[in-house]
Chains A and B, each alone.
Chain A
Amino acid sequence: MRRAVLALYRAGLLLLPPTFRRAYGAAMLAQARVDLADATLPRGAVRLATDLLASLGREWTEAARGLLDGGPSGLGQDVRFATRTLRRQPVFTATVVVTLGLGIGANTAIFSVVDGVLLRALPYPEADRLVAVWPSKLFNRDLMDRAGRELRTLTAVGGTSGRVFTVTEGGAPAEVFGLAVTPDFFDVLRVQPALGRGFRADDGAPGAEPVVILSHRLWVERYGGSAAVLGTTVDVQSEGVARRTVVGVMPADHRAIRAGAELWTPVVTDPASDDYTNRSFLDAVGRLADGVDRAAADAEVAAWTQALRDEDPGMVAESDAARGGVLALSDELAGPLRFHLVALAAAVALVLLIACANVANLLLARTRTRRLELGVRTALGAGRGRLLRQLMTESLLLAAAGGLAGLGLALATRGALLGLLPGVRAEDVTLDGRVLVFSLAISAAAGLLFGAGPSLRAARAGAAGAGRVGRSGQRDRGAAHLQQVLVGAEVAMALVTVFAAGLVVLSVRDLMRTDPGFDPGPVLTVRVTAPASLFPEDDDVLRYFDEVTTAIRAVPGVDAAGGVGRLPMAGGRSEITIYPEGFEPGPGGELPDATHRVVTAGYAEAMGFRLREGRLLAEADLQADEPYPVVVNATLADRFWPDGALGRAFLGRGGVRWLTVVGVVEDVAEEGLNAPPRPAVYIPHQDWAWRTLFLAVRTRGDARAALPAVRAAVWSVAPDVPVAREASMEEVVHRSVADTRVTGTLFALFGALALLLGAVGVYGVMAFAVVQRTREFGVRLALGATRGDVARDAFRTSGLTALIGIAAGAAATPAVGGALSGSLEGVRDSAPGLLAVVALVLLGVALTATWLPARRAARVDPVTSLRAE
């Protein structure tokens, strides 16, 4: 490990200005070795890195100042000269700047998102010490308390759970997303309200006065931004609580741990109740103790979860126990978006590399025509180093212009990009100093990358060609070789990018074609919460939804309507442990889990569930006593009762309810189009009177058109009830694959860009090679070669290069496919025929780009060509 750090350090030393490095590099390396041996590894490495970075800045600044002060032979002169040269060749310059601008722009745009979402520290003190404790949703109150007491590597552990609140004052009634948190949650984050107080331990005690902390925005919008609201009760309803006392207001710049959260309430659970130990619903956030690193905490939590399971298998499921550990909070919050962004960053990096290869090729071609100039300058006394500096100045100037164009592009496309990425908070993505530094850095890197090869070659050729001034038509075999290598690499990279794009796009298409198990046809869905003030008890909630669905069914054009706790594919999981009749638990006493949905009568009909046997739930079932009649899906029925599920009974909901199967429906993609089928139970609403239900309304004609009438029907039962999350079922399905779809769109865009740049590159090199060889072709034609011979010959070299590039790219596709399918949900690792199609497309593009100049070669007029010199 230390050796690796030293190797890196040695490589880093190469970045120092050469004079300084030659004088002190060896001494610095020796010193670094001693320093590293003295210190603990991460600290020593970090110190070396920061010292080296500081040193790089200092020494280069001094070196640059030295050059600028160098008078007529200095950098200033180089820059002026380069500007003049580039201005004299506007087409060349514009081509390079546009090419680089596209590459740098795409990278800058993606980086701004990557930076905002993944790299930037969360806005909490010492945010890098915050971790998410896995598995998520494991924690109930009891485990939460135990984690706080028993985990040594975490100083504090807090829990959160998303909640939807109904707010009616200060504007139209609306649903507001908020977080129920354990009282010490803000202490874990080390943030406190700007106004009032945070939560105290007794706020979470049963029977305590219900309290709430508001976000700054909600406070201003709904409560006039007045401090007088502190201590008063406001209408913030959830979980049967109608009014809460405002105890605090968060600072304006506080960023909630989950996007969109506008208020916070304490989790209230009675230690005497079942829920205290049974209901697992909290996501835990912890802060690492001093001197503890994340790996240590990860190991402790993993062991702890396993020990919990050994203590009581019913407390922690086997799959959960295996996932115990911690994750950096920032990574946890970025979620699956992380993988999409990394994949996109890789794609745009390829695009930039292709752009660099293109520019390098253009430069190579150009230096060949500039041989006269370079030769003259050498003859006048310019050394090779001097020429090199001049040429590199040109490259870096081009890179700077490209970088500016790229920044402009990134700025111009920011809105469109953010519109495409629904999971990204706009305020996280800013084109600020960090992004500026990034685009500056990649511009400089690009300049070095595309400029170094051609400049070195040109400087050498210029110096060597001093005595042969004027023979510009002679072919430079080395340069031609380098050009072919670059073209081959471009073709390979373009193939990889287009293949990746094709894979993502095809996967999205297939996902959208997956049978969801229901008919998303014209179905309108809305979310409604029974107002606690009017319907306080469970029976009232049931009555409320009964009245609401009845009212909706009376709306003209409505065929069916029903309610459900969670819509398919809309996110959120509800599961119960079941104990099916006749089921033999394994030696660990492990019981199966099933997806759990509370439904009202009419829901399955409205969604178009397909009945396999038995019947759907009816009105009468909703009045029945235990055992409750339930509908199960085909997977559950086949797994536990292969010889007929109807009439079978099982225990559900923590073993406290008897349920009897009255019907079996085909599997519905509850967890997403891509999720494997798993057992599901549809349980009548009265078993568990969820206060918030989604209503599914099947309509004749456009689903959305029914919204006003449906809303009116809801309000006919009780006014001031928010009708939220309105969407057609088709939209819900569409949104469930939004991340992958957006990645597909962007991939397709970058794939097209890669293809375009690749084609331009092949064409440019080929066209130039033909021009270079005009004289040769003329001679051969004059000596009796046919036009076909000449065209074939011109074709062969580039055709071969393209083929090699395609083969190299194709060889990389399995790895690319594996990486994509491993990180992006719903993306497969290969698609039949895709590679062949992509290879053919690239071959076609490469051949067309080759053919056009080759045809010109064949048309060369021997007489003119010999005069061409």
Chain B
Amino acid sequence: MAADPSPVPPAEFRVLLALLDGAKHGHGIKLDIRERTAGRVDMGPGTLYGAIKRLVRREWLVEVAGPAGDDDDRKRYYELTADGRKAAADESARLEELLAIARAKTPPLTEGA
């Protein structure tokens, strides 16, 4: 079972990826995702915090204190745990494997024909 971890839902995976390069607050996560998808993926508050909630419950994220100087207590910062990092890596590997299969079977898809 461990060889094929169950897939991480897209919204949650995106949040994990957004946090790979360091702690961010909720809005920061949203902005990171939006930038990296050229604006195509823009999470609403419910989607974003729903995903955060589930990730916190799985203990892939933890809430951390904001950087010194940020005293806006509505801003909440999140950081990946070791498990979260591993989950992101596992999911990436799983997707890569799937992509490899897809490439092997449908060359035109990747050759841009």
Partner-B contacts on A (CB < 8 A): 20, 23-24, 26-32, 34-35, 47-48, 50-52, 54-56, 58-59
Q: Are B30 and A31 in contact (CB under 8 A)?
A: yes
Could you pull out 8 A-B pairs where Cβ atoms are within 8 angstroms?
A23-B53, A29-B45, A31-B49, A32-B44, A35-B45, A48-B45, A54-B47, A55-B49
Is B87 among interface residues, defined by CB-CB distance under 8 A? no
A48 to chain B, nearest CB (A): 6
B50 to chain A, nearest CB (A): 5
Q: Are B53 and A24 in contact (CB under 8 A)?
A: yes
Q: Which of B44, B50, B74, B76 has a CB less than 8 Å from the CB of A35?
A: B44
Interface residues of chain B: helix, strand, loop or mixed (majority): helix
Cβ contacts under 8 Å, A32 to chain B: 44-45
Bound complex: CA of A59 vs CA of B48, how far in Å? Answer: 12
Is B46 among interface residues, defined by CB-CB distance under 8 A? yes
Is B66 among interface residues, defined by CB-CB distance under 8 A? no
Interface residues of chain A: helix, strand, loop or mixed (majority): helix
Cβ contacts under 8 Å, B47 to chain A: 51, 54-55
Cβ contacts under 8 Å, A29 to chain B: 45
Bound complex: CA of A24 vs CA of B76, how far in Å? Answer: 10
Give the total of B residues in contact with A, Cβ under 8 Å.
16
Q: Are A55 and B50 in contact (CB under 8 A)?
A: yes
Bound complex: CA of A28 vs CA of B49, how far in Å? Answer: 7
Q: Are A52 and B53 in contact (CB under 8 A)?
A: no
Bound complex: CA of A48 vs CA of B48, how far in Å? Answer: 12
Q: Are A20 and B53 in contact (CB under 8 A)?
A: yes
Q: Which 8 A-B pairs have the closest CB atoms?
A: A55-B46, A51-B44, A28-B45, A31-B45, A24-B49, A51-B46, A30-B74, A32-B45
Bound complex: CA of A23 vs CA of B57, how far in Å? Answer: 12
Bound complex: CA of A32 vs CA of B74, how far in Å? Answer: 13
Residue of A nearest to B47 (CB): A51
Q: Are B74 and A54 in contact (CB under 8 A)?
A: no
Q: Are A31 and B50 in contact (CB under 8 A)?
A: no
Q: Which of A27, A34, A52 has a CB less than 8 Å from the CB of B76?
A: A27
Bound complex: CA of A54 vs CA of B48, how far in Å? Answer: 12
B14 to chain A, nearest CB (A): 15
Is B27 among interface residues, defined by CB-CB distance under 8 A? yes
Scoring B30, B44, B50, B53 by chain A CB atoms within 10 A of each residue's CB, the highest score goes to B44
Is B52 among interface residues, defined by CB-CB distance under 8 A? yes
A20 to chain B, nearest CB (A): 6
Q: Are B26 and A31 in contact (CB under 8 A)?
A: yes
Cβ contacts under 8 Å, A56 to chain B: 46
Q: Which of A23, A28, A34 has a CB less than 8 Å from the CB of B46?
A: A28
A47 to chain B, nearest CB (A): 6
B78 to chain A, nearest CB (A): 11
Cβ contacts under 8 Å, A24 to chain B: 49, 52-53
Q: Which of B1-55 contact A (CB under 8 A)?
A: 26-27, 30, 43-50, 52-53
Cβ contacts under 8 Å, B53 to chain A: 20, 23-24, 59
Cβ contacts under 8 Å, B50 to chain A: 20, 55, 58-59
Q: Are B52 and A34 in contact (CB under 8 A)?
A: no
Query: Given contacts A24-B52, A31-B30, are A48 and B74 in contact (CB under 8 A)?
Result: no
Cβ contacts under 8 Å, B46 to chain A: 28, 51-52, 54-56, 58-59
Cβ contacts under 8 Å, B45 to chain A: 27-29, 31-32, 35, 48, 51-52, 55
Scoring A32, A54, A55 by chain B CB atoms within 10 A of each residue's CB, the highest score goes to A55
Bound complex: CA of A52 vs CA of B78, how far in Å? Answer: 22
B90 to chain A, nearest CB (A): 23
Given contacts A28-B48, A35-B44, A55-B46, 17 further A-B contacts (CB under 8 A): A20-B53, A23-B53, A26-B74, A27-B26, A28-B49, A31-B48, A34-B27, A35-B45, A48-B45, A51-B45, A55-B44, A55-B45, A55-B47, A55-B50, A58-B46, A58-B50, A59-B50
